[in-house]
Amino acid sequence: MKIEKHIRFKKYIDFFKEEKDISMKAYLNLAELENIPLITARRDLKELINLNYIYQELGLIKLVENKEYETTRIEKQAKNKEEKNNIAKLAVKELNADEIFISAGTTMENFVKNIDRPIKIVYTNGFEIARLANSNKNIHRVVIIGGKLRLQSSALCGPIANKTVEDLRFSQSFITVTNIDKNFFLYNNNDDEAELIKLVIKNSNNVICLVDSSKFNPTPSGSKIVDSSKIDLFLTNEEIIKKEFENIKSHIDIKW
């Protein structure tokens, strides 16, 4: 039976963490033990190098230090499907502009698919968002904010994207984040994406953040974006009952 890519990657990285410096022979032996075809293992190795999880030095495969494995877009897509779809439907009800920004993210992909009213322009830094928006007959025009493509999230970000956003103004923006901490600061697990979202928030008249309840995390990781006072409305799938967030309604405007 074929092993999905994200499962293969997790096996490799766990192996690298345990064994440190790995020879190519040891790597291919692992692939054989896990019933991964050698041609697939070699292709995976190149992709892991391109994603900057590992590097090769003096014939050995080494793990990049302090680089945590980030779930792939496919993994994210598979999680909390029903919850994300419910949040997307809530977001559609909040649409009040015909020119909007939509950030990259699997929750946002559900939102784009659910848009059922005329939208003049969708601006996005999400490669997959652009594709889905182009397929939605209610969206008349799609503008992609270009930059460096991150395969893990299909987001376009970096200096080029930032420069573009600096020159734009958005009537309404829909974003998502990786985590929200107990002090109601927003985070993204990538520095470039965090910086771009910070600029989008700054240049938007109205900002709505779509996050499933699992994103409310007392001890988050990643790059801090802004505090929750910069967000007009949060949309989630259920009431947040974690002790650290018991006073949530006194801090943020939130619907579920």
Residues 124 and 24 in one domain: no
Which residue range(s) make up the domain with 118? 74-245
148: left (phi over 0), alpha (psi -120 to 50) or beta: beta
Q: Which of residues 28, 50, 69 is at a domain's end?
A: 69
| HSE, side-chain direction, 13 A CA sphere, residue 185 | 13
Residues 149 and 223 in one domain: yes
Which among 34, 2, 1 is positioned nearest to 15, based on CA atoms?
34
Q: Where are the beta strands (DSSP E) in 51-147?
A: 54-57, 60-63, 99-102, 121-124, 142-144
Number of domains in the chain: 2
- More confident call, 1 vs 93: 93
Residues 179 and 239 in one domain: yes
89-136 confidence digits (pLDDT tens): 999 999 999 999 999 999 999 999 999 999 999 999 999 999 999 999
129-177 confidence digits (pLDDT tens): 999 999 999 999 999 999 999 988 899 999 999 999 999 999 999 999 9
The pLDDT-based confidence of 240 (bands split at 50, 70, 90) is very high
Percent of the chain whose predicted confidence (pLDDT) is above 70: 95
- More confident call, 239 vs 52: 239
Percent of the chain whose predicted confidence (pLDDT) is above 90: 74
Q: What CATH number is attached to the domain comprising 97? A: 3.40.50.1360
172-208 confidence digits (pLDDT tens): 999 999 999 999 999 998 999 999 999 999 999 999 9
Residues 112 and 22 in one domain: no
Residues 210 and 140 in one domain: yes
Predicted TM-score (pTM) of the model is 0.77
- Bridge partners (DSSP) listed for residue 134: none
Residues 234 and 130 in one domain: yes
